[in-house]
Amino acid sequence: MKKNLLFACFLALCTLTLFGQTEGTAKILRPEEKWAIHVPAEAAPAGLKIIYSNLGTPTNAYSVVEAWEIAGPNSGITEFIALPFTPTSDSHVSQVRVALQYDGSGADQVNLSLYADADGVPGTLLAGPVTVTNLPEEGTCCTLAVAKFSPIAITAGTQYWVAADTPLTGTGSDLVGQWNWVAKVSSEWAQDYGGAGWGQIPSDALPAGAVLGTVP
Amino acid sequence: MNRVPLFVCFLTLFNLTLFGQSGETPKVVRNAENSAIHVPPQVAPAGLTVIYTNLGKKGDLYNCCGFILSGPNSAFGSVFTAMPFTPKSNSHISDVRVAVQYSSGANQINLSIYDDSGGVPGTLLAGPVTVTNLPDTDTCCLLAVAAFTPTAVSAGAQYWVVANTPLTGVGSDFYGTWEKAGKVIPFAVNRGSSWFAGSADVLPAGEVLGTVP
């Protein structure tokens, strides 16, 4: 009997590991909303302009219940995500505000960086990493993770990336967090997972965030 | 001491149950493209009109990294997926073509048409039609094609194409992928080695053909 339980335990642990293996582009999380009250997103500092934003209104800045997983290698899996943006004017980036949240495991911190583009993915590091601590709790809205940069020049019409990752070792490398999707604006599709019944999923899964700075 | 591993075991099993609930959906699948040659999709029967499509251009019909579709007797457990569509005109559906691909188990899935109930599939209208010999995962651009006895749908009403498997027996161990729509919303992912491009448009790819009305 005990052997059977231990075998079941082993199998279950193996299955858990499979959830985190390398087939996936990125793992989608669907946290339950914890607070009916949406805390408005922090106001942008005076003097900074929005260079890029896909955030919604202050009290509906991003989706509460859909997110990509962000995880450091010492959490058991590695999942880093990057959001592209293309400025319409020559600008200087000085602040990045993204919908990153903490899932309650590992160090409560994430690194945000700016990258140039290299064939449609992040290329050369331009600025950062800036370590952001005390992320908002998963299942809440609409506090943002805010990273301040020394002003970095960017060029109109060129694609850049905001990347969220962790150190590969040491403090922060065990983070389990998430980057919430944009607020729901698109059509739904549906999925029945494990026979639990149909659930809706938005079709637009872009990570939510904004890039602020000065023009030029 | 024995209590600790058993507690871990129960905790783990409990967590597994949670995985099957609303807390987490299965991840997007990404494999290396098996063939650089893009095989054109099957030709649609003459006389049929496109009632709905989110497919891309010929030769680049859909994107990789779609969602797992699997039967309850597959290693991954039961994951069924549904694509919504809303006809612009009163129509009759006779052909459904979706980007479902095969990885393991019996090489077959069921496709059905449902009406809508509160934003998810409701009542079965037609099917299931069993489609066999699906294209391999991460090839392009063959489709899983199901022919239906013409089924009336109304303009402006939402309907669903559901892909699933039997709960038991042949087909219940299917494991594959429903690839994503042709539209690309770029973002990037790094799983520890390098960045790769993904699309944040996660709508399952497919089209619905038929006659108007």
Percentage of the residues of chain A whose pLDDT score is greater than 90: 67
Residues 6+ apart with CB under 8 A from B129: B96, B110, B111, B112, B146, B147, B148
Closest CB to A203 among B121, B197, B202 = B202
- For B95-148, how does the pLDDT look when each residue is reduced to its tens digit (9 = 90+)? 999 999 999 999 999 999 999 999 999 999 999 999 999 999 888 889 999 999
Prediction ipTM score:
0.80
Contacts of B5 in chain A (CB under 8 A): 6, 9
**B14 pLDDT more than 50:** no
Q: Give the closest-approach CA distance of B167 to chain A in angstroms.
A: 10
Residues in B closer than 8 angstroms to A198, CB to CB, are: 82, 120-121
Contacting residues of B for A24, CB less than 8 Å apart: 27-30, 191
Give the gap in angstroms from C-alpha B188 to the nearest C-alpha of chain A: 5
Q: What is the pLDDT of residue A26?
A: 60
Average pLDDT over residues B181-207: 87
Which residues of B are less than 8 Å from A163 in CB distance? 188, 190
Contacts of B179 in chain A (CB under 8 A): none
The CA distance from A35 to the nearest CA of chain B, in Å, is 16
Interface contacts (A, B; CB < 8 Å): 189
A191/B202 CB distance under 8 A: no
- pLDDT one-digit tens code per residue, A111-159: 999 999 999 999 999 999 999 999 999 999 999 999 999 999 999 999 9
The CATH class that applies to domain A24-186+204-214 reads mainly beta
Query: Cβ–Cβ of A30/B84 closer than 8 Å?
Result: no
pLDDT at B22 over 60: no
| Per-domain boundaries in chain A | 24-186+204-214
Instruction: Quote the pLDDT of residue B36.
Output: 56
Closest Cα of chain B to A53: distance in Å? 14
CATH class of the structural domain B27-211 = mainly beta
Tens digits of residue pLDDT in B39-55: 778 888 889 999 999 99
In a structure prediction context, what are the per-residue pLDDT tens digits for chain A, which is 216 residues long?
333 333 333 333 333 222 222 234 566 676 777 777 788 888 888 899 999 999 999 999 999 988 999 999 999 999 999 999 999 999 999 999 999 999 999 999 999 999 999 999 999 999 999 999 999 999 999 999 999 999 999 999 999 999 999 999 999 999 999 999 999 766 688 988 888 899 888 888 999 999 999 999
pLDDT at position B45 is: 84
